[in-house]
Each structure stands twice: as C-alpha cells, then as structure tokens.
A and B are shown apart, each in its own frame.
Chain A
C-alpha cells in the first residue's frame, strides 16, 4: 500500500478543525472556532488572543493563563505545530505558490547562485513578524482591545464561514460577506509570505517553540547528497515555507520557526530528513 502523503494528512487535519466550526454552527454545542474552541467551561484559547485580552483588559484571567500554559506544553512537545496542522491559511497558500517554483537539482540551479545567496542571507536575519507582534501588543495596550484579532486571517476565515452559514439559515445578508473575504484575499496576496514575514500569531508561536524538544528535523549526513557527495542540492530548503536550510548550523532562531509540516522530508530525493521523537546526535 502506498503510504499517505504528509501533505494530504495535513490537509485532513486542517479540514478537521474547520469541520469543528461547522459542528458548532449546525448544533448548539458551543464548539467555537480556532480562536477558542472547547467543550463547556474548558477551552483552548488562541495564544495571541490570550495575551491580547490580558494586556487590553489589564486584569488577571485564570482560565487564560491555564490555556497559555497548556499551549506552552504543546510547544515543548510539538513546536510550532499549530501553523502547519491547524491553521487554515496554508490551505489558501497553495493557490499562491512560492515565487521561484521548486528548483530541481540541475545545472540551472548553479546559474542562480547569487539569488540563492540572497535567500540564505534573508533566512538568517530576524523576521519582520516579531516586530509586527510587538506592534500588535503595543497597540492593544494603548487602545484597550485585541487589535490583531480585527484582521487575523484565521479569525476572518471562520468569520466568512459563519456569515455564509447565517445567510443561508437566517437570511442575513450583510456587508461582512463582501468585506471579510476581501480583507482576507488582500492579506494573502499582498503578504504572499504572510506566515513567514507578517503573521504575529506565527511569531508568537515561534517564540514559544524555542522550548521545543521533540520532533526536530534532522539530516542523515550519510545519505544527504549535499553533505555526503557535495552535490549542490537545496530541494529541502526550497520545499520549506519558512526557508529553513537544514544544511546550515541550526540555531534556535531558525529551528523554532519549523512548523513540522514535513514538506522537506517528502521532497528529499534521498529520504535523508527525519523528524524523530528524540533529540538527534547533532
């Protein structure tokens, strides 16, 4: 039997969380959306939303602290798994492919060395998203309400679903049906690299994922073409949406942005990349 591809598994996982929202719409379960979902008084709250409410209301909310602690625990175990396996944005990202589509190992790749050096340099530098995160939190503190929630692509995706559902169920035509998808499309087109360069939620989860201990991507230096034979291969880096180059010495900064999507290990022609539970020898 052919093994199921991880990219399809990821799509199933994302669709599962979208279906949770539909479940909450169809039945009065109070399931909620990814902004906060749960059952009865227990809920898993979006970490950025949690921090924003704490800052905006300037009060201590125990349930929010517990939820943040649980999220940190998940980060220790799985790192930035939310961005790869739960957030619906990667589904849209398929429609906006990366600029220089996947490069194959060929002579063509050698010609593009200068461009690649640029990319290497850009993957080293600090990401803009951390500053957007700072701006969002500062603005939230100043104005007294969760600011990023207004344009959060995750929230807007579910807002569109809820609005369409209510249009059908209760005949509620609103401008929301036009405005929310438009803002969403704007974000995804103008910030083609929303996840890597802009999203403060991703930035926050990356910061939390610095404590991640398990499931780190590692290269088997014996089978990797670049490490063992010196072939100019960058298939794994090209496959990575965060442009992490596993051949470079990995810092906490770059590795914490890994969303465990396994695109790299699937792309590798030698199957040299593994996500093992335990720490690597590296």
Chain B
C-alpha cells in the first residue's frame, strides 16, 4: 500500500499513465485469480476414490498441492492421477487406480504427503471405499468364478448357496484386491466399457 502511494505521488505525467496501466493490469490479474477460483468451484465434480487418509474431500482439496509424491511412492502403482475430464478442480490430484494395483496399506503415501492432505489411516477402522458387484460379474451371470472370494485379504467376501459373492460391508475397507484380480473383462469376450465385475466406489462423498 505504501509502495502504491509512493508511485502515485510522482508528479511526472508519463509515470501516472504507467501506473494507470499497472492498475488495470493488476485488477485483471486479481480478477483472473478470483474468476479461476469461482470457475473451479462451480465446475462439475464427481466423487473420487482417494488414497488412504484423503476421504474427507473438502479437507483433502484444501491441502493437496498436486506434488506427485504419493503417486510416485506407491509401490503397487495403485495411485494414479485424476485426468482433467474428471474435474477441473480435481485434475492432477491423486486417485486410486485399482485396475493397475491394489492397496496394502503400507501408509507410505501418508508419510510422504508434505502438507498432510492424507491423514492417518487405520485399515481396520477407516475405509478407502466399498466394493460393489456390477452386472458384468462372471459369478452372477454364469457362475463358477470365485477369484475375488479367495483373493480378499480381509475375508470381506463370502459365497452364498449358489457360490455367488456377497460383500460384507463391515469388513470391506476398499483395498481394491478384488477389483484388481477380477477377470470379468478378460475371460469373457470383450463387451465394451471399463467396469469390472466388482469395483470399489467412494463412500458417502462429502460435498466440498
């Protein structure tokens, strides 16, 4: 502020003109920043599967600086980055890609997060997401597939009398092992789409 006044106090004509130009340029710059914030806030958003500890979306978005450390440190490559088409505000932030890897809760991503956007996570208490069967599930359609049942490290998937998987919502913590192993798009002839027979979905998306 003091600087601005110093600048205005100069009585040279050309200087005044220049400071007016600075004023306009500065106003445009400030407006651009607020406009950018408003557009990003208003842009359509969808609930995303965050790495462990990033489930409170509003708190997560306020702290994530898109530095790439969590994605890089993930030894199973389960963490990917959000592409721009899934949200202007969320682009470049991390999201779980269970088609590539699954989470073993090593908590390295939480350790390396520089701003604490990923908070402490307890795999027995907190959940990354929740598993849901989809209509391409082989067991639901033809039977005989029990891969997710035998793969689940938390015994959250049981089989009913027809050997179809049932998901125990209390035990499931969204680690993604079932989605990662699901062969629904591999063993059947390709039916289009990217959804496997079981997929992890975000729980109760908190609106930011």
Contacts and interface: CB of A to CB of B under 8 A. Distances in A.
Given A29-B73, A144-B58, A138 B33 contact: yes
Contacts of B40: 143, 145, 147, 150
Contacts of B70: 30
Q: Is the interface of B mostly helix, strand, loop or mixed?
A: helix
A64 to B, nearest CB: 6
Contacts of B38: 143
Interface string A145-188: 11111110001001100110010001010111001100000000
Given A131-B26, A132-B30, A132-B33, A40 B84 contact: no
Interface stretch (B111-119, B131-139, B142-150, B178-186): B111-119
Given A139-B34, A175-B84, A63 B115 contact: yes
Interface in B114-168: 114-117
A41 interface: yes
Contacts, number: 204
B30 to A, nearest CB: 3
A151 B4 CA distance: 27
Contacts of A176: 83-85, 91-92
A173 to B, nearest CB: 9
A259 interface: no
Contacts of B100: 170
Nearest to B24: A128
B63 A35 contact: no
Given A41-B112, A135-B30, A197-B25, A174 B62 contact: no
B29 interface: yes
Contacts of A146: 62, 64-65
B68 A135 contact: no
A90 interface: no
B114 A45 contact: yes
Interface string A105-149: 000000000000110011011111101101110111011111111
A246 interface: no
Contacts of B12: 121
Interface stretch (B46-54, B74-82, B169-177, B197-205): B74-82
Interface stretch (A9-17, A51-59, A76-84, A266-274): A51-59
A148 B108 CA distance: 27
Interface in B77-106: 77, 80-81, 83-85, 88-89, 91-92, 97, 100
A32 B67 contact: yes
Contact of B26 (A33, A38, A128, A142): A128
Interface string A194-221: 0001101000000000000000000000
Interface string A215-244: 000000000000000000000000000000
A195 B41 CA distance: 27
B30 A253 contact: no
Contacts of B92: 155, 159, 162, 176
Q: Is the interface of A mostly helix, strand, loop or mixed?
A: helix
A28 B158 CA distance: 34
Contacts of A129: 29
Interface residues of B, number: 61
Contacts of B58: 144
A21 interface: yes
B44 interface: no
Interface string A18-45: 0001001100111111011110110101
A121 B100 CA distance: 57
29 contacts: A24-B72, A25-B72, A29-B73, A31-B69, A33-B67, A35-B67, A43-B67, A43-B69, A56-B62, A56-B63, A57-B59, A58-B62, A64-B116, A121-B14, A122-B18, A125-B15, A126-B22, A127-B22, A129-B29, A132-B33, A136-B33, A138-B33, A143-B38, A144-B62, A145-B89, A149-B65, A155-B66, A166-B80, A174-B85
Interface of A: 21, 24-25, 28-33, 35-38, 40-41, 43, 45-46, 49-50, 52-53, 56-58, 61, 63-64, 67, 117-118, 121-122, 124-129, 131-132, 134-136, 138-140, 142-151, 155, 158-159, 162-163, 166, 170, 172, 174-176, 179-180, 197-198, 200, 253
Given A30-B73, A61-B115, 20 more contacts: A29-B72, A30-B112, A32-B72, A33-B68, A35-B67, A38-B112, A41-B111, A43-B112, A56-B63, A118-B18, A124-B15, A126-B4, A126-B22, A131-B29, A138-B33, A138-B34, A147-B33, A147-B40, A174-B85, A197-B25
